[in-house]
Amino acid sequence: MEVILLERVAKLGQMGEIVKVRDGFARNFLLKRKKALRATADNKTKYEGMKAELETNNIQAKSEASKVAEKIDGRDVIIIRQASEAGHLFGSVSVRDIVAGLAADGVIVSRPQVWLDAPIKAIGLQKVTIAVHPEVEASVTVIVARSADEAERIKRGEDISTRREDRDAAAEAIAAAGEFFDPDAERDEEPAGEPAAQ
């Protein structure tokens, strides 16, 4: 089906373009949300009459969205979840969780505005894009942690993938192995006449 876009649609086209899309996508998304019109002769003339109004509305919405994007851009969203010692979540963090985290911080966005390729399934940092307007994007940092203290450590850049005791034990083992395998270290010589004890 061919449609006339009434606003910019990501990965599809700009306002006023006539694009060919699948029928289901056109009916269920573009036409239903008033993002496009069917590309008929009547609708083409209707679009020409609406063009100036659509462009002024788009410019006004874009300027308002830019102000909102400035408030959102660079913000941290902390989400506390249960996870294994290895850092794998018992469940996942979805778009709904990010929207709720922003709402708790006083920023209202809708679920379609949050672009998350796949649910987050591990502890750590992830950049997520928020499409405030079809032409204005902002990014937030989603910090997934087991506790608020751990979230602060992740934010500072600490490696929380292993426990502190495990890291200390590993450092001691590496130091001991370095001394054991040091080729320049002096070794006790066994007497030539006696066999080595088994």
Assign domain 76-171 to a CATH class.
alpha beta
CB atoms within 10 A of CB 193: 5
* CATH entry 3.40.5.10 includes domain 2-68: yes
How far, in Å, CA of 98 to CA of 78, rounded?
A: 9
pLDDT digits (tens, 9 = 90+) for 142-180: 999 998 888 888 888 877 765 555 556 666 777 676 666
Q: Which residues pair with 5 in a beta bridge?
A: 36
Q: Where in the chain is the domain with CATH 3.10.430.100?
A: 76-171
pLDDT digits (tens, 9 = 90+) for 12-62: 888 888 999 999 999 999 999 888 999 988 988 888 888 888 888 888 888
Q: Where in the chain is the domain with CATH 3.40.5.10?
A: 2-68
